[in-house]
Amino acid sequence: MFGMPARTCRSGIAAVWAVVAMAAATPGAWARGAAESWWPEVRAEHRPWTRWWWPGSAVTREGIARQLRKLREAGFGGVEVTAIYGVKGQERRFIPYLSAQWIDVLLFAAREAERLGMGLDMPPGSGWRTGGPFVTAKHASARLKLTVMPVRPGAVQLDDLLGRDIQAIVAFAGEGPPVDLTDRIRPDGSFRWEAPGEGWTLYIAELERTGEKVKRAGPGGEGLAIDVYSREAAAYFFREYERRLAGLPRGTVRAWFHDSFEYTGNWTPRFFEEFRRRRGYDLKAHLPALAGRSGGGDPARVRADVRATLAELHLEHFVEPLTEWAHRRGGLSRNQAHGSPGNWLDLYAAADIPETESFGRLAQDSPYPLIGKFASSAGHLAGRRLISSESFTWLDEHFQVTLAEMKRLADQFFLAGVNHMIYHGTAYSPPGARWPGWLFYASTQVNPRNPIWRDLPVLNAYITRCQSMLQAGEPDAGVLLYWPFHDLLDGQGEIGEHYAINRIDWFTKQPIGAAAERLWRGGWALDYVSDRLLECVELRDGVLRAGTSRY
């Protein structure tokens, strides 16, 4: 079983467990003593938060105030408002997402939360996958369709290209130079070419829109998901979204949240241009290699370069603009990098609050802390104060999750470097709704209808005490472990291969996984570092330094 390493946090985390146990046993005495000691004053961010789903956004001011009050009484410090699909039969209550009425109830929720000493986050969009009704096909998620067409000598004619986004048509024959025929596409969508002999093959690179939409969208938030590799698409989305937020004062939302990467696109309109600028050669001349065929270069090298380009585009064209936009709104950014085809460390570091998550039950010997450390490592190297976690997602079936299971997983989060837990989650439910009330389809059910609610304040107090200490401290890992991300890019699979948090062969079956586990079992705390983040590390007085971290 993965235990706590010998070296953790300079703030004295090694002593936290005994202190917390004493505090839990005598909360009143501890509270009195804490006021006279060095223990940090408890703030909203020290307490656990919860994702707060609004089914159909069918909320009322009275219902909002009531539920926020109950959450605060249970020891929560904040909520993340997420508008989702509504309850069948309640359509008349639905409030369209981003309508004037919706902005009004959101503003009420934010002010009521502030009155209670709580905070409020939300994603820029309903459900998850960034998108909405104003996203047009021009800015929507896209993929590459690569058609391989052997041709005979003589006339080659295509008449079905009208209305299709053909990015390149290139002819190849043996080891000879490729012939770019893209400019032979006529305005009417036809194509003509004379193949000069045997052995020629056309490679047609076409951009297709995936058609994928916002998942679990709330009424008024439905629509296409955006192209998360396009700077133009991101700029368009944030501009249009901002316009619809006109009634929401700047700074109302503490942090703008992007959920785990669940897009299927792997292309963008300017990919060929970006590839040439970043990799130094023309991908169009290597389409056979991209298709995994001989000719046109080394397939592994070409596909790895395509993956590296996708990783950079997602970082620079979506995640960094998200953070910039959040700052213009007077808030922070929170991002879950996992699931993406990019370098997790770089993506987490680009957010103000890097966020990991757990999914499902964890085995006793689960290596989860070593996975959660991708978020905390990035945060430590980038100097981020908060490392958050989407906590308890599908930990068990509905109303079957125990506080003991939650506590065990909370400890795993702390070992991973998390200091800001956000529960998954709590569904808004109106007074009088028949038991079990309005629910989200995924557990854990953190609401007053769950039998654990009576004793949940005890767990929340434990987490609050741990997090208040962890947030007051500085990271103190003994080892900085390099993550060779390009080893993954050189592997097999799709060009937009995703690295999931609940399927971790990409880590456990790589040398870094074995090295991390050996260090961890040997009692060493560690952080991971990427090529990009390594540029921020300095060697001074025999110690590696980045932000407030030392190795």
Span 175-218, pLDDT tens digits: 889 999 999 999 999 999 999 999 999 999 999 999 999 999 99
What average pLDDT score do residues 441-461 get?
A: 97
What is the per-residue pLDDT for 20? 36
> Would the pLDDT of 8 be above 50?
no
Query: What's the DSSP call for residue 34?
Result: H
For residue 60, pLDDT beyond 70: yes
DSSP assignment of 401-468 equals: --HHHHHHHHHHHHHTT--EEEEEEEE---TTPPTT-S--SSS---STTSGGGGTHHHHHHHHHHHHH
Q: What is the dihedral of CA 330, 335, 340, 345, to 10 degrees?
A: 100
What pLDDT is recorded for position 232?
A: 98
The alpha carbon torsion through 122, 126, 127, 129 (nearest 10 deg) reads -90
- Beta-ladder partners of 81: 52
DSSP-derived secondary structure letter, 202 = E
Look at the block and give the residue holding tokens 């200091």: 419
**Does residue 351 have a pLDDT over 50?**
yes
For the ranges 151-165, 194-208, 490-504, the lowest mean pLDDT is seen at 490-504
User: Which whole number is the average pLDDT over 503-529?
Assistant: 94
Q: Taking a C-beta distance cutoff of 8 angstroms, is the pair 533, 15 a contact?
A: no
181-185 long-range CB contacts below 8 Å, 24 or more apart? Answer: 182/284, 185/161
* Band (236; pLDDT cuts 50, 70, 90): very high
Would 457 be classed as within a structural domain?
yes
The C-alpha angle with vertex 364 and arms to 469 and 354, in degrees rounded to 5, equals: 45
Residue 444 domain-assigned (yes or no) = yes
Strand partners for 333: 256
pLDDT at 495: 84
Has residue 257 been placed in a domain? no
Give 37's pLDDT tier (boundaries 50, 70, 90): low
pLDDT confidence band for 500 (50 / 70 / 90) = confident
pLDDT above 90 covers what percent of the chain?
83
Q: Distance between CA atoms of 513 and 511, rounded to whole angstroms?
A: 5
Percent pLDDT > 70 in the chain is 93
Mean pLDDT for the chain overall: 91
The confidence band for 137, taking pLDDT boundaries of 50, 70 and 90, is very high
pLDDT band of 433, cuts 50, 70, 90? very high
Q: How many domains, in total, are found in the chain?
A: 1
Q: Which pair of structure tokens corresponds to residue 345?
A: 């460390």
In a domain, 243, yes or no: no
- The encoded tokens of residue 523 equal 């009692």
Give me the pLDDT at residue 503, please: 86
Q: In this structure, is residue 351 part of a structural domain?
A: yes
Length reported for the chain: 551
- Would you say residue 81 lies in a domain? yes
The CA distance from 412 to 418, in Å, is 9
Please name the residue that has the structure tokens 């937009």.
496
Residue closest to 141 by CA, chosen among 152, 130, 150: 130
Residue 458: partners with Cβ closer than 8 Å, 6 or more residues away: 24, 403
Q: Classify 365 as helix, strand or coil.
A: coil
CATH of the domain at 414: 3.20.20
Residue holding tokens 């300095």?
A: 538
Q: Using alpha carbons only, how large is the chain's radius of gyration in Å?
A: 26
Q: What one-character-per-residue DSSP string does 283-307 give? A: GGGGHHHHTT-SSSS-HHHHHHHHH
Specify whether the backbone of 258 is left (phi greater than 0), alpha (psi in -120 to 50) or beta: beta
pTM of the model: 0.91
Region 265-290: mean pLDDT is 97
294 within some domain:
no
Q: What is the pLDDT of residue 30?
A: 44
Segment 143-170 mean pLDDT: 96
- Residues 24-42, mean pLDDT to the nearest whole number: 57
- pLDDT band at residue 497, thresholds of 50, 70 and 90? confident
Confidence label for 296 from pLDDT (cuts 50, 70 and 90): low
Look at residue 33 in the predicted model and tell me its pLDDT: 52
Beta-carbon-side half-sphere exposure of residue 302 (alpha carbons within 13 Å): 20
Band (36; pLDDT cuts 50, 70, 90): low
Strand bridging mode 131-132 / 165-173: unpaired
Summarize the confidence of residues 158-174 as an average pLDDT: 95
Structural domain of 127: 13-134+312-472
Asked if the model's pLDDT at residue 543 lies above 60, the reply is yes
The verdict on residue 142 lying in a domain is no
From CA 447, how far away is CA 122, in angstroms rounded? Answer: 19
One-letter amino acid for residue 41 of the chain:
E
Residue ranges of alpha helices (H) inside 245-367 are: 271-279, 287-290, 299-314, 320-328, 344-349
Q: Is the pLDDT of residue 9 over 70?
A: no
* Residue 237 CB contacts under 8 Å (≥ 6 apart), including other chains: 124, 130, 131, 132, 135, 139, 226
Q: CA 59 to CA 438: how far, in whole Å?
A: 12
